[in-house]
Structure 1
Amino acid sequence: MTIIFSGLALGAIYALVAIGYNIVFLSQKTFNFAQATLMMFGAFLAYLGIAVWGLPWWLVGIGAAIIVGLIAALEERVAVRPVKDMHNLLVTTLGASFVIEGVAQLIWGGEPHAVPFFLGNKPLEIAGGAVLPVEIAIVVVVVLLVVGLTQFSKRSMVGIALLGMSEDREAAVLRGVNVRRFAFLAFVATGVIAGFLGVIVGPKTYAVATLGASLALKGFVVLAIGGFGSMWGVLVGGAIVGLAEAIAGRYWGADFAALTVFAILVIILMIKPTGLFTRRKERTV
């Protein structure tokens, strides 16, 4: 059970990255490949605030959310808005991730830094397995975040507008939706979420400059398995990837962990190319 708990927590971290991908995808039909790097920067801010300055975790989380949200806003203004071709956004956001990673290395160096968890690090015995409090917290947070975002998209005007933009951007403009403003707010929201999550993800992954690169690809795999635009698919995709990686790494070795994950991805996409929770849409002309 220890492997199961660890795999679920690892998959939940990948799912948190995929949630950020999804929010930007729904608003702009593209991906922010700097999302994982923003989470990495949030982990460093958590290390700085909690381990170095000794501030309360909640205060550090709020501060990190504001700072990373501002970084995401700057990224949107510099690397996203001036670009006219949507395909080029993949390149510019990837470039932004390299810049953020370079800044983190200049400030904190390349060594990993431990981030204290506010509930302690004493393992708990559950169902015959050992699980860390941070692992429980990560799984709970990703479930609550998916439920909250799902309800927000159905019950709020902003959420409904974003769904309308994802379905038909031109129709949303004709109905009076300020597409550019909502896309900007969605981009900033992913930064705010990534920054705050640093106080929860950091204790599990450590604060290290290469964290963004290691999470970015797995987050995209989670999104491809679950289905682009599906928040519930993110949960299932994260669980599949995390468990596959943990179990394969435990019984077959670390070299087979990534191979197993991508083999599962290929099999799922061969059976259902749109992902597990996304249906193919047909438009009548």
Structure 2
Amino acid sequence: MALGQLVNGQWTSKRQQDDEQGRFLRPPTRFRNWMTQEGEQGFTPEAGRYHLYVSYACPWAHRTLIMRALKGLEQAISLSVVDPYMGVEGWFFSEAPGCIPDTVNGTTYVRDLYLKVDPQMTGRVTVPILWDKQQQTIVNNESREIIRMLDQAFFAEDPQRNFCPPDLQGRIDQTIDAIYQPINNGVYRAGFATTQGAYEDAVNELFAALDHWESVLQKQAYLCGDRLTEADICLFTTLIRFDAVYYGHFKCNRRHIWDYPHLWDYVKRIYHHPGISETCNFEHIKAHYYRSHDAINPTGIVPVGPELPL
């Protein structure tokens, strides 16, 4: 499986990704600077200054695409989109349909962005990346923090474009914490497990969490009440991929999301929120997972279905 990394500035196409029990391990992200309205770390919100590097296939990067759309920042923050296939060289830019080359740094491989900032870097090469054109550096590559920055640094005073209002911030953060390990990371813990026990533990935790949020959404429209928040964005990008990819490819096949009436209505509600459906590219999603993970799907055949009743 092509899950490479940089080691002392050199690319290697393999990395250790599980422990002795066969459990998938996700290392922390590396760049954690903050953009704020006050610019304490030198990063102030300015139109035209920042650039997002993303993949339509990646649920973590998809979060930032959604926030960019919800905040109306398409003209303020420019964009590059990698090829959906991630092979032995990692993420790369191409002219394939839906892709946008690196118009800022002119790179071919995403790893070159990391090496530009740290020529001796050791670590994973991931998207999303929030890039500062002015300082020529990576601001942040942690999706949860990027969406919070975009949310609070731009138009935070507009209640219609604020997805983490102060009175809900504690609840939103607790909810994002609660869904991360069993659901957001849980599908990967199931799909990349290398032992039966690690797989079953992940699947059991995943569906216990889905059952819980199904009961929550029976009583309210969104995770934190009656309004769309950052927590919903974080859950949505996993759920929108679930029936198309995780159910079969990652063996999360106890139930489809469409088998949960309240979760499925919730997915459709968010999908049809203005600006969000345009960020969902199922061709990239399916091509990435089914073609890139050759240890899971050695033929590389991408299924034609399912037809999601969105």
- TM superposition score normalised by structure 2: 0.28
Which has the larger helix fraction?
Answer: 1
Which has the larger strand fraction?
Answer: 2
- TM superposition score normalised by structure 1: 0.29
